Structure formats: C-alpha cells, structure tokens
Amino acid sequence: MDNYDIKDISLAEGGRRRIEWAEREMPVLRQICERFKKERPLDGIRISACLHVTTETANLMYTLHEGGADVLLTASNPLSTQDDVAASLVTHFEIPVYAIKGEDNVTYYKHINAALDYEPNFTMDDGADLVSTLHTDRREIMDSVVGGTEETTTGVIRLRAMAADGALNYPIIAVNDALTKHLFDNRYGTGQSTVDGIIRATNILLAGKTVVVAGYGWCGRGFAMRVRGMGANVIVTEVDPLPALEAMMDGFRVMPMNEAAPIGDIFVTLTGDLNVIDGHHFEMMKDGAIVGNSGHFNVEINIPALKEMARNSRLVRPYVEQFELPDGRRINLLGDGRLINLAAAEGHPASVMDMSFANQALSLEYMLKNVDTMQQKVYAVPEEIDLRIARLKLEAMQVEIDVLTPEQIAYLNSWQEGT
C-alpha cells in the first residue's frame, strides 16, 4: 500500500492493541459488524471519512470495511490523531489513512484533498471540513457523491447553513442529532474526556478551583457536571436564556464572561462560536489562569489577540503554552486552543463512541437503501435506528426494562379518563 500519509508505520503493533482494547467497550458496533460481515450491505461503495483518528474510529472503519465498503480515513482535526492507530489501520486493515498528529493547516487540507481524490460515493464528516472543501474547491468530483453523514454539532450547524443557502448538493444525515448520540457522547463523553484532557495537560488539582464553563449545551452541561464532581466551583456563561436558566437551576452560578474573567482559575469554552474569550477578557484574568477549549474549532479563544498582547511565550509542559502579559501576569493556553479532550487525552471513551458510531454505520446503511428518495437536505437519524441502538446498548449492559401493559397502552391512548 502506498496511498497513505502517516507519522510512523512502526507504531502499528501498539495501535492494534489499543484498538482491540476499545473494541471491548463497543458491543453495539461489534454486533453491527458481525451482521455486516454476513450481509455485506455496503458492498462496492467508496467512503471518505474525515473523523478524529482514534481507537474508536478504527473500530468504525473496520466495521464499514467488513460491510463491503472501500474506506479512506483523513483527520478531522490537526491535533487529534493517534499516530499508532493510523499506523495500525494502514498495516493491519489496509485502510488508507491521511493523518499526522500536529500537522499544519497546509498538510491538513492536503489530506482532505487526498480523501476527495478518492472520489467517494459517501462522505462521513466530523465538523464539515470535508464537505465544505468538496463544495468549494473540488466540485469536479461532486458527481461521484450521493450522500453523507455528519458527526458533530458544529458540522450540522454548517451543513444546515449550506442547505438554507441552497448550496448543499446531496443529502446528509445529522448523526449528531440522534438522541443516542448527543445525550451520551456530547454530555458524558465530553464531560469526562475534557476533565481528562485538562488533568493530563496540567496535572492540577481541580478541587477548590473556580472553573468557568462557557456554553451550556450538551457538551457544557456534561463538563460542568463532571468538573463539579471533582470539587470545582463552577461558573457558567451563556448567551441563550433557556440554558442559562437551566444552569442556574442545576445549581451553578451564571454570569457574563466579563464578570467571570477576574474570578476564574480555569476557563473552558464549549460553545461552537467565535472569540468567546476575547482580548479584553485576558486583560482581566488572574495571574496563572488556565484557558482551554473543548469545542470543535480553535476559534473560541481569541489566540491572535493573546499573542498580540503577550510580551513572550514559552511551552511550560506539553500542551501548555504560557503567555506573559506586559504587567507580568501569565495566561496558560492549553493545546493551542484545539479540543483539549482529543489534543491532550484520547477523546471520548469507547463506551459512548459505541453508540455514536453505531449511528454512523446504521445511518449509512439506511442512506444507501433510501438515497434515491432523499433530497439535498440535512436529515435526522430515523427514530427506529435511535431506539434500536438504545435497546442494544441496554442489552449489552445486561439491563432489562419494564414493558407497558395493554391497560397502560390503552390509558396512554385515551383522553376521557381524568381524576
């Protein structure tokens, strides 16, 4: 095989062992994989996947491959690649991979273009960089593409904007919007892995620290909940009155970033928006403040402003860059402002990715069967797929639930009975 660009092929053996370790915690995907091996529902299709190159993604790639698809994988973020996993996918699974941890932007887009050179029939995206590059710079390969899926909130927002502009050329299923995806992956996955990333990067004690959480969507909720569990005093900042109210009633302090900036010890953005921590916030922060992001793109912290303000900077630990301001205060930026749970840790644990990637596999299978009737829109994951995944996950956890009695069903369907 020569169609790949990875860091070091000799890392493959360690990658394989970690991929197998993740597979233990992915029983739903494993079941789908067993069925795919027999039925080969994806026979003959070509998929270009732009996902974080992790042990969990490797298990998804394997499942699609066993389902009969030709698969290529490119990184969905320059800093999230696990180089040993990339090496194992190439060596043991013969899947072309274009991903190197720490690659610069030029290489990142060179890799995305390699994924488009593959002339896929389906795109599988995480953040919509693959789809947006296809629709802007690489329209000549558009004819080969019939559908796609999108993994994350940021990507779904971009794709909905494309569809609203009439710019989207093929149907896409928003995997993120499945309940078995965002209620678990975004909440418990981001919650745990963001705490993990901060601890691995800094080794600081969270107990007693004031942690400012920007954004109270599912990711923010998950992180706020988990970091409180470690003993932090949590402040939430929001722009939307409903989640702000919810954060209040969940027991957090809520205030604007201007008020939180002088109080916080640690700041984490999980909003999906631009310059949530801006130059004037750095002006107010305490000496030693730690600032990180767990949203998809590295735009939530205004890093150019921080660089402009600082008189110097140095790497004090891997993933911790310390900026010294003219008055001597130091601001510690984590992982270049890229998603710290994947930059300094390993992303969401396999048990939640099990459900997210089961949604990916089943959505793709559904799309292949139904694409002729689908339009150039963003579609929800069909409810029966969501329910099937929830049932399979419970089964794998050996949890049984009650069943409605005929009497209860009749009651729920009637309107006459009251007090």
| Range 236-275, binding ligand ADE (CB under 6 A) | none
| Range 272-291, binding ligand ADE (CB under 6 A) | none
Q: How far is the CB of 405 from ligand ADE (least distance, A)?
A: 40
**Contact predicate 324/330, CB 8 Å:** yes
SS3 315: strand
Q: Which is nearer to ligand ADE, 32 or 254 (CB)?
A: 32
Task: Out of 54, 154, 202, 269, point to the residue binding ligand ADE (CB under 6 A).
Answer: 54
**Contact predicate 346/193, CB 8 Å:** yes
Q: Which stretch binds ligand ADE (CB under 6 A): 49-57, 259-267, 270-278, 287-295?
A: 49-57
Q: Which is nearer to ligand ADE, 51 or 385 (CB)?
A: 51
**Contact predicate 368/45, CB 8 Å:** yes
Determine the angle formed by the axes of helices 153-164 and 129-136, rounding to 10 degrees: 30
Task: Tell me, by CB under 6 A, how many residues bind ligand ADE.
Answer: 10
Backbone angles phi, psi at 378, to 5 degrees: -95, 120
| Per-residue binder mask for ligand ADE (CB under 6 A), 1-40, x = binder | ----------------------------------------
DSSP-derived letter for residue 182 is I
Closest CA to 58 of 347, 372, 284: 347
Q: How far is the CB of 296 from ligand ADE (least distance, A)?
A: 9
Nearest 5°: the CA angle 223, 228, 232 is: 115
Listing from the earlier edge strand, what are the strands of the sheet with 266-269?
A: 253-254, 233-237, 210-214, 266-269, 289-293, 330-334, 320-324, 312-317
Task: Out of 42, 50, 52, 285, point to the residue binding ligand ADE (CB under 6 A).
Answer: 52
Nearest 5°: the CA angle 153, 379, 150 is: 40
Q: Which is nearer to ligand ADE, 221 or 330 (CB)?
A: 221
Q: How far is the CB of 210 from ligand ADE (least distance, A)?
A: 26
| CA dihedral over 218, 338, 189, 392, signed as positive or negative | positive
**Residue 221: other Cβ atoms inside 10 A:** 24
Q: Which is nearer to ligand ADE, 57 or 88 (CB)?
A: 57
Q: How far is the CB of 186 from ligand ADE (least distance, A)?
A: 9
Q: How far is the CB of 159 from ligand ADE (least distance, A)?
A: 17
Q: How far is the CB of 412 from ligand ADE (least distance, A)?
A: 37
Give the residue carrying structure tokens 């990333």: 197
Q: Which is nearer to ligand ADE, 302 or 341 (CB)?
A: 341
Closest CA to 311 of 301, 300, 322: 322
**Residue 166: other Cβ atoms inside 10 A:** 8
| Range 60-119, binding ligand ADE (CB under 6 A) | none
Q: How far is the CB of 52 from ligand ADE (least distance, A)?
A: 4
SS3 328: coil
Task: Out of 56, 129, 365, 386, point to the residue binding ligand ADE (CB under 6 A).
Answer: 56
- The residue number with the shortest CB distance to ligand ADE is 347
Q: How far is the CB of 294 from ligand ADE (least distance, A)?
A: 10
Residue 234 tokens read as 């949590």
Q: How far is the CB of 194 from ligand ADE (least distance, A)?
A: 10
Residue type, 245: L
| Per-residue binder mask for ligand ADE (CB under 6 A), 157-196, x = binder | --------------------------------x-------
Closest CA to 71 of 41, 51, 95, 91: 95
| Range 317-376, binding ligand ADE (CB under 6 A) | 342, 347-348, 353
Query: Residues in the site for ligand ADE, rule: CB under 6 A?
Result: 51-52, 54, 56-57, 189, 342, 347-348, 353
